[in-house]
Structures are given as structure tokens and as C-alpha cells.
Amino acid sequence: MSSRKEFHDLAPPEKAHDAIASLDLAGGTERVPLREARGRVLAERIDADLDVPGFDRASMDGYAVRARDTFGADEADPARLDLVGEVHAGEEPDVTVEDGAAAEISTGAVMPEGADAVVMVEKTDTEERVERSSTERASGNAASREVLVRTSLAPGDHVMLAGADVAAGERALGPGTRLTPREIGLLSALGVDEVPVRASPRVGIISTGDELVRPGDSLHSAAGQIYDVNSYTVATAVEEAGGEAVLYPHAGDDYEEMERILTEAAEECDLVLSSGSTSASAVDVIYQVIEERGELLLHGVAVKPGKPMLVGRVADSAYVGLPGYPVSALTIFRTFVAPAIRAAAGQPEPRTATVEGRMAVEERYSEGRMRLMPVGLVTDGEGRTLVYPVDKGSGATTSLVEADGIVEVDPDTEYLGEGEAVTVQLFSPDVREPSTFGVGEDDPALSRFLDDLENPRYLSLGTREGLRRLRNGVPDFAVAAGTDALDTDYAELGGWSREWGLIVPEGNPEDVSGVTDLVDRDLRVVNRGTNSGLRTSFDDAIAAVAGERDESRRDLTDAIDGYELTVKAHESPARKVATGTADAGLGLRATAEKLGLGFVPLGDQPVRVLANPDRTEKPGVEALESALADIDGVVADLPGYASQ
């Protein structure tokens, strides 16, 4: 045995944190069934492989119609349509809605061919056709009845298009996301049955001392024996922090036995924790084992309790020696070791089930009923918690992920003012504010940048909505594309350009060359929503053609088949083209090449990441700016992309 060791130079707590942080506790990656994934942390980004819903569906009971058949209809002069059949939820339609026809439809049912809108049943009446043949009267055929539509409809009214909730190709969840029931619900909607997660760090636990007896065994108090408190206490704390606890037989004060057990645990685990035998006593042997079988990084920390802490390596495993007293052992574990285990497992810091914050925006409410308002959390530039309403509709699966909790609003409360203090009841005690919160354009390069951040939140709501919310002061940043991206009122974190145009079938069988073909030819087009930067550039291109022809832009858009029917994400038009339901779709060259489709270029579009000027020093925003500095590396393999 070596001579007695004394604690001459105690390390400051910061050095202990640094020493433990230098140890590699990561357990790698594994795939687990979705049913067993609660509480685990995603190791990779998961993109949606299908649209949710996977078909155009009715959002209410009524009649599926062609919107143009209802133009001009009102209470006094209803449109009269032949009733040709009915469609129920869960069945494939067996009717076609042609000009002048309507089909009865249930909420959630697949839209029949030919129909592009649903009129709610409250806006209709039915009656027998005045003029029928004797054969029709005898058969009672459905076509012998008429639907009187007493309102005008636009294409897409009361229809939830395929991909309106989650669009194929859209970033569903990013690496580092902790899977709670909300995320499990989203993945279930996408048909995911197995997920890649971070493997929990395997932590070996050894209690030392000749006096220890495991609970359940006979105790000889007269001989100074005590029950081993630390093994179960520390094991429970390890599991609470996200690790997998492995209990080893307790070791006495014999050097060879300690060496054997410690070496066995080091070979089987990512981290070994021992409690006791870390003081400088001559009979405590851990110090010598670590020095002779591994590397000692630290012995003794200037904290109370917990002065005799050890940090080192044995074989390929990390090692931390905790004090022997249970309270001291647990205190040192929670202060120094638990954060490292959580970091390796991707687990958030624990927090209470309620959070106090202040409203980021004014929210009015005057329905006279108690409101359980879904809200999200974000921190401002000074670290204060702001609360903002989240409401995408009760049928939207993504609301589950975007909302962190609820604020209970009293029935007599007419509004919550900006800056008003509120209490948020979290959906889970594990919920935490995102490191950074953004809103704006859907873009494949952006998804890659977000992958480099810890716990970001991003809502793909389009350029215009992103800038609107940024003006309101809620998000940390917005991503804008097109001419709107040139807004100079905000701090610019970085940007790139992307080639946009028309996505067509492979080989471009219709020989589409540009916007004029969409106007002049009978081609079916899939457009993006008005908030999208791609839509703005498309409209600008149409306006340019209108100017050349001395025609109004409205005349040209009216001539484009499908212009008014829009889809959600950047891949959605391309996937419509891939299935043969459209001749062309608005999109990016990168998307076309990813899906093996043709592409007709219409221009290059600037994309800018713009920050709230008051949040530029927020750590999450600084991390995003740092990630954006590697634009060339991120966009190198995205066709049509370039740094700016």
C-alpha cells in the first residue's frame, strides 16, 4: 500500500464540473419500438414520409361539390345540384362529382373525384326534382333529388387537403427531442413504429465498506453492520437522470477485491460510481486502484458536503467516487454527476410542474367560459419567461408538440394583456423553454441548421407570418424568403439563396418551359399558400408576364388551373406531381432532384434569417448564428443552393 494521502489542494467546484464534463459518458444509439420510447431522446431527425391526412378529406358534414357550380348562390337564389350519391368516413368513394352535381359527405370522408369544396349541411336544402321521368320516379334514384346550395364557395372551402396537418418531407422532430406522449402521438400519426434514440448511459454502482449489508439480508448490529443505503439511493437517482443503473456486489476494504469489482464494472459500463472509500484513510483503497489501473483526474473538491470526491478513468470507463455518507453522496451526485448523465442521455434539467411567466402578446377572450389556453414558452433577451398562445385547431397533431402547457383563463376575463403575469400548468414536469424559437419559411437547409442546436423550436408558417410574429416580438428569429427577405428592420444572422421554379414529372413530358405555359395550356398546377416566400416569387413572375401582355395579374391567375388550391410545405407540390395528380408544382430544385422529378427553373431566391434585435445576445440565438457561419458546408450537397 502507498503512504497516506492528504487533501492539500482542494479543487474548486468549477474544476470538478470540467473534469466530469471531459469524460465520455455517451452510450451510443439504439432503435426502440415506439410503444417503449416514452422518455427517450431522439438521436436523429425524423422527417415525415407521408402526408397527414393522406388524402383530401371533408372537414364537416355536408355536400361535396365543385365550387364553381356555387358561384353567385345565396339564400334568395340557390344553386341547384343533382344529388348523385354519398360518401362516408372510412370508405373509398364510388361516385364522381361532375358539373352540376353534389355528393352527400361525412366529416373525415375522402373527397370524391371532381369535388373541390364542401358546403355545410346547414347551408343547404334538398327536394325532389321537378322534372323527372317515370322511370326515375319509380326507382327513387338519388339523382332524382336536388341539393339547394344557399351560399357561394371557393375551391378548398371546408376541405382539409392531404398534408395540411403534417406534410410529407416536413421536419417532424429533431435530434435531441425528448419523447413525451405529445411526440409519441405525432410519430403515431406518421406511422412510425420504431425510433432511433440515444442509448442511456450504463452506470455501474458499487458501495464499499466491510460494514455494509444489502437491504433484505440479516444485519448484525453488534458487529457494527449497517444497511447499504447508497446503492439503491444512487441507482434511483441515476435512473431519474436518464441513466441505466447496474448494481454490483458491495466491496469491502480489501484492495484485490476492490480492484476486481471495479475493473469488471468498468468493462461493462460507461460510468462507474462508488460511494465510500474516497477519503485519505490508509484503509481506503480506491485511490490506489484508480492510480494503478487508470487515470486520476481529481481528488478532493472545495464543497461541503462532499470534499473527498474522486474523478478519473478506469479502462475505457469514466469513474466518479462519491462520499460515503448517504446525504453527502446524493448531494454530490445531483450537483456534479446528474447533469453529466442528463447531458449524455439528452435529458432536460428537472423543473416544477408550473411556471410563472408573462404574456408575450395580448390575448382577447370573451366567450364567458373557462378557457384552458394552450401556450408555448420562450425566454426573452434577459432570460425572463414569456408565454404565447398556441392554437392550430383541435384537429392538428402538431399542436401537441408546439404547446408546453395551458393557462387557465377565468370566464370573466375578457383579455390577458401583454406583460400580464400568468401561471402555466405544464403538460409534463420535464417541459422546458426552447433554446431558441423561430417562425417562418419552410426550407430544407434550415432543417440542417436546426439539427446543430439544442432543443430549438421552429414553426413553418411561411415568410409573411414569420415576419408578422417577429414584429409582434414573440419569436427570437424569423426565416424569410423572396423579396420580403430583404427587410432591413431586423438583425441578420445569415442567409443563402435557393433556385426555385416548377417541378414537373421526370423528363418533363408536357414540355413545360415557364409561367406562360401554365396560363395558356390546360395544365394542372399545385401552388403554395400566400404566406410562403415561394408563392410571393411565383406571383411576381405572373405579374411580370401580365405586364408584358398588358393584362391584369388576376386574369392570368384565373386562367391557371389549380392556382387557388394550395398546400403546406416545400415538398407537397412535388409529391402531388410524383403521384400524377398534377402536371406542375411550385418548388425547389433541391426537392425535385431529391424525389427524382424534373425541374423548370424560374429564378434564384434569397433566404434570410432575421433576429429580434433584443434577443441577439440570447445563447440560443448566438448558437444559431454560429451554426449559420458554416453555410457553405451545410448547403454543399443541396442542388440549387449557394451561400450569400
pLDDT of 451-492, one tens digit each? 989 999 999 999 999 999 999 999 999 999 998 878 667 999
Cis peptide, bond prior to residue 348, ω within 30 of zero: no
For position 4, what pLDDT does the model report? Answer: 42
Please name the residues in contact with 77: beta carbons below 8 A apart, sequence gap of 6 or more. none
Cis peptide, bond prior to residue 444, ω within 30 of zero: no
Cα of 1 vs its chain's centroid, Å: 56
In angstroms, the CA 193 to CA 179 distance is 13
pLDDT at 119 over 80: yes
Q: What b/e string do you get for 39-53 counting C-beta neighbours within 10 Å, with b at 16 or more?
A: ebbbbebbbbebbbb
Cα angle, residue 43 at apex, residues 42 and 47 outer, rounded to 5°: 70
In angstroms, the CA 284 to CA 587 distance is 69
pLDDT at 1 over 50: no
Cα angle, residue 380 at apex, residues 359 and 532 outer, rounded to 5°: 80
Q: Which residue has the cell 406583460?
A: 419
For residues 320 and 273, the answer to whether their CB atoms sit within 8 Å is yes
Average pLDDT for 385-406:
71
* Span of 56-65, 132-141, 423-432 with lowest mean pLDDT: 132-141
Domains of the chain, each with CATH number or no CATH: 13-28+200-345 (3.40.980.10), 29-53+164-198 (3.90.105.10), 57-160 (2.170.190.11), 354-433 (2.40.340.10), 444-643 (3.40.190.290)
Cα angle, residue 466 at apex, residues 462 and 467 outer, rounded to 5°: 125
Q: Please report the sign of the dihedral spanned by the C-alpha atoms of residue 261, residue 267, residue 268, residue 271.
A: positive
Burial class (CB in 10 A: 0-12, 13-18, 19+), 412: exposed
Tell me the average pLDDT of the chain. Answer: 87
Instruction: Give the C-alpha distances (Å, rounded to integers) separating 133 from 81, 144, 148, 448, 511.
Output: 17, 9, 20, 65, 48
Average pLDDT for 320-327:
80
- Work out whether strand 525-528 and strand 566-567 pair parallel, antiparallel, or are unpaired: parallel
**Confidence at 205, pLDDT banded by 50, 70, 90:** very high
pLDDT at 215 over 80: no
Q: What is the pTM of this model?
A: 0.74
For position 277, what pLDDT does the model report? Answer: 57
Average pLDDT for 568-593:
93
pLDDT at 398 over 50: yes
pLDDT of 59-78, one tens digit each? 999 999 999 999 999 999 99
For position 393, what pLDDT does the model report? Answer: 47
**Confidence at 397, pLDDT banded by 50, 70, 90:** low
Q: Which residue has the cell 469513474?
A: 319
pLDDT at 132 over 60: no
Instruction: Give the C-alpha distances (Å, rounded to integers) separating 613 from 436, 476, 488, 635.
Output: 14, 9, 11, 26
Look at 17 and 598; give whichever has higher pLDDT. Answer: 598
pLDDT at 417 over 60: yes
pLDDT at 280 over 80: no
In angstroms, the CA 397 to CA 111 distance is 21
Phi and psi at 610, nearest 5°, equal -110, 135
In angstroms, the CA 88 to CA 110 distance is 8
For position 487, what pLDDT does the model report? Answer: 67
State what percent of residues in the chain have pLDDT above 90.
58
C-alpha grid cell, residue 101:
352535381
**Confidence at 221, pLDDT banded by 50, 70, 90:** confident
In angstroms, the CA 268 to CA 271 distance is 9
Average pLDDT for 496-500:
96
In angstroms, the CA 356 to CA 369 distance is 23
| Type and span of the H or E element at 260 | helix 255-268
**Confidence at 213, pLDDT banded by 50, 70, 90:** low
* Span of 164-173, 246-255, 334-343, 573-582 with lowest mean pLDDT: 246-255
**Confidence at 305, pLDDT banded by 50, 70, 90:** low
pLDDT of 157-202, one tens digit each? 999 998 888 888 999 999 989 899 999 999 999 999 999 999 999 9
In angstroms, the CA 23 to CA 317 distance is 8
Instruction: Give the C-alpha distances (Å, rounded to integers) separating 627 from 84, 172, 182, 620, 633.
Output: 57, 20, 28, 11, 10
Strand partners, 572: none
For residues 237 and 223, the answer to whether their CB atoms sit within 8 Å is no
What is the number of alpha carbons within 13 Å of residue 366 lying toward its C-beta?
3
For position 68, what pLDDT does the model report? Answer: 95
**Confidence at 291, pLDDT banded by 50, 70, 90:** confident
**Confidence at 351, pLDDT banded by 50, 70, 90:** low
For position 573, what pLDDT does the model report? Answer: 94
Q: Which residue has the cell 361532375?
A: 98
What is the number of alpha carbons within 13 Å of residue 490 lying toward its C-beta?
28
